[in-house]
Structures are given as C-alpha cells and as structure tokens.
Amino acid sequence: MDTRVQQAIAKSAPERARALQPLLDEHGAEMDRRRELTHEVVEALVGQDMLRLLLPRSLGGQEIHLLEFCKTTEALAWADASVGWFINQSNVSSATSAAAMPHEAAAAVFGHAREGLAWGARHNKSTALRIEGGYRLSGTWSFASGGRHTRWLGAHSAVQNPDGTPHLRYGRPDDRSFVFLRSDAKIIDDWQVLGLRGTGSDSYTVENLFVPDERAPARDAPEERREGGPIYTIMSTLLYATGFCGVTLGIARRLLESYVELARGKHSRSSSNAMAVNNAVQREIGQLEARLSAARAFLHEAVSQAYEAAAAGKLDVDLRMRLRLATTHGMNEATDVAIASYRAAGTTAILNSMPFERRFRDAMSASQHLQAMLPHIEMVGRHIIGTDNVIQHI
C-alpha cells in the first residue's frame, strides 16, 4: 500500500474528510465552473483513500462502519457538495459490485486506491444479451457522477436471451450490473445543470460491448454475494440513500452556519435593528437548528440499528423501513433548512462572492434525487399501518 495512503487511514474517515475541507473550499468555485473536480482535489481524495471506504477488506478496502461513512459524506459536502456526492456514488457502486464479483476480477478492477466507479441511473431501455462467457451490452445511461475521474464505468440492465426473451436466474428475471472501461464507452458531454456541477455527471453509450461474466455481478442478489460484512447485507439502495442523506445534511449545515454568521453582523433593509437582535431571526435560527439536528440524530440512530442488526444476521424489514424513513426524511428536512437559510440572507444570498448561491443550487439539485422522493415515506406509512406493500428496493 502507498505510504501516503497508509498514513492517511491511521485516522478515521470523518477526520480525513474534515482535513480536506480547506482544500475543497478553495477549489469549490473552480470545480463548479469546470463541471468536474480539479486535479488537486482528485489527488487529495486518492491520498486520503476516499474511494475505498466501503470496499471489502479482502480487496484492500477499509469496509468502514456505515455511520462513519455517512459522517464522511456530510463532512465532505459541508465543504463541497459535488465531492461528497461523487464519493458516495463511487464508494457504494464499487463496494457492492466488488462484493458480488469473483475475487480475482474484483481485485483487478478495484485493487488500487485510485480506482473509483461511476454509475448511470437504472432504466429499461438497454439490452444485455446472454452469450457464451458473458454479455453483449447496448444502451445509453445518464448521471455518471465523477465519471471524468474514474477508469471504470458501470451500467444496469435486465438480461435477455438471444431470442429477446427475458433471461431468468434464481427463479426471477436476471438483472445485472455491468462494469467496463470508460475508454470502451462514448462519453456525451451533457452535464449542463443547476447544481452539483462539479460531479461532471455525463451520459455515456455502449453498443454491442462484450462484458465477461466476471464483470457482470448481480450485486444485490444474495446468491452471488461473496462478502458477509454488514455493509453488503444492507445492499445498494439503502447505502446510496444513507450517503446522499449525509450530503444534504452537510450542505444544509453549511448554509445554516452562513445564515448565523450573517445574522451576527447584518442589518436588514426592512428594519432598523440588526438581525442578531431580531426576535423572528432568533426564533427561526433556533428552529432550524432543532430540525437539522433532529434529522441527523434520527439518521444516525437508524443507520446504527440497521448496521448492528446486519452484523448479527438480524436485519429485518422493520429496520430497513426505518432506515428508509430516516434517509428520505433527512433529505427533505435538510432541503427545507437550506431553503430557509438562503431566503433569510436576502439579496446577499444571490451574490457569487457569498457562500449561499452555489450551495443553494447544490441543495436544490440534491433534493431532486430519487432517494428524496416522498413516495418512499408513503411506503413506510403503509408498512406501519399494515397495508400490503410491494417491496423491491428499500
């Protein structure tokens, strides 16, 4: 292992994330302008071994506690949301894929601290034809966060037989994740967006690309999981949700702190009093602090409960639902705190020179992710009531 990496992992992942905050702050505006991370930031992330936080220890990864992971994405996003987003997306994609791949194949892909994995969103318009030794993959995927900085890309697809009929495995439709070199894909530079610009989440296309069996894991299929750690039992959807919730909490915390700092020294144009002595401002700041802290505490409790249950082989639907509720609720509470902090800053908030504008755009973009959608909470409500649920990915 690289000496620099060895020295880095002597500290906890959240500590290493906090140590990166000054650098991320310095480069944030430039990453937003470029629509990708700067070279200096990528090198610092590699040096702090931030791309292997959840990777199995058997592959040289850290396989950290999930609570430490969500604290890490929060700390990174406090400084720059795009970095926190990339680190969550890459870690969950790499770790869950590696845990379902043959050891030798996983080591060849993820064996170095520099090897992240960018992943496009799932859809039903791709084809993966089952052939001898592997698959022929065709399709276009979007939102490959951090893909400009990884050597590997991934994509989801249902598998078809050569005659076009659905391929079945384990008595159900075969749905797989395909891992291939970025150089084998056509990259589409279409990341022109409101926020999270630094993720460089381009679209990409492959046509009739051969992907061997060993790089086509069914990453959430218990039958193919070769790692027994709690991270992999929790599975990809809730892992993504946990990390993204951490990101939104980090963005909201930074905006709230910026609001507080502004209130200490600003006079509102609509009042002769300083914001700091305005009762309405005092009340709002207290309420926002309570909401954000409560959402964070609920997330941490649910994460710890799910992780410990998974470690003991007792992770059940109730605890999975509780983690789903905590992550979706947390993302929505964080969004509300971010909006309130931005609005409270008045015209100051729209200035590029102030700490509100870019982070507000990031907060709004993060709020649109599938993991924040309110139907998740409705699903949990049905579960609590006892109404039938069709549970596929929680």
Q: What value does the mean pLDDT take over residues 25-31? A: 98
Residue 4 pLDDT more than 70?
no
Rg (CA), the chain: 21
Question: Coil, helix or strand for 383?
Answer: helix
Residue environment code for 155-194, b if the CB has 16+ CB neighbours within 10 A, otherwise e: bbbebbeeeeeebeeeeeebbbbbbbebeebebeeebeee
| Phi (first) and psi of residue 177, to 5 degrees | -115, 125
Residue 181 to residue 91: CA distance in whole angstroms? 17
Q: What is the pLDDT of residue 3?
A: 59
Sign of the dihedral through C-alpha 117, 118, 122, 127: negative
User: Hunting for tokens 């909490």 — which residue is that?
Assistant: 249
- Non-local CB neighbours of 3 within 8 Å, separated by 6+ positions: none
Direct distance between the N- and C-terminal alpha carbons of the chain, in angstroms, rounded to an integer: 36
236 closest CA partner among 377, 381, 121? 121
Tokens coding 193: 């967006």
Share of the chain above pLDDT 90, in %: 91
Residue 42 to residue 176: CA distance in whole angstroms? 29
Tokens coding 365: 């973009």
Q: What value does the mean pLDDT take over residues 227-244? A: 97
Residue 244 pLDDT more than 70?
yes
- The residues with which 139 forms a beta bridge, in sequence order, are 206
Question: Coil, helix or strand for 158?
Answer: strand
Tokens coding 206: 């492959």
Q: Give the pLDDT confidence of 281-299 residue by residue, as tens digits.
A: 999 999 999 999 999 999 9
Choice among 4-8, 15-19, 29-33, 332-336 with the minimum mean pLDDT? 4-8
Q: What is the pLDDT of residue 5?
A: 60
Residue 268 pLDDT more than 90?
no
Tokens coding 380: 């949990």
CA 276 → CA 259, 260, 346, distances in Å? Answer: 11, 9, 15
Kindly tell me the burial class for residue 272, based on how many C-beta atoms sit within 10 Å of its own C-beta (0-12, 13-18, 19 or more).
exposed
Residue 6 pLDDT more than 90?
no
What mean pLDDT is reported for the chain? Answer: 95
Q: Give the pLDDT confidence of 351-384 residue by residue, as tens digits.
A: 999 999 999 999 999 999 999 999 999 999 999 9
Q: What is the pLDDT of residue 270?
A: 58
Pairing of strands 152-158, 117-119: parallel
Which domains are seen in the chain, by residue range?
Answer: 3-110 (1.10.540.10), 117-221 (2.40.110.10), 235-385 (1.20.140.10)
Q: What is the pLDDT of residue 357?
A: 97
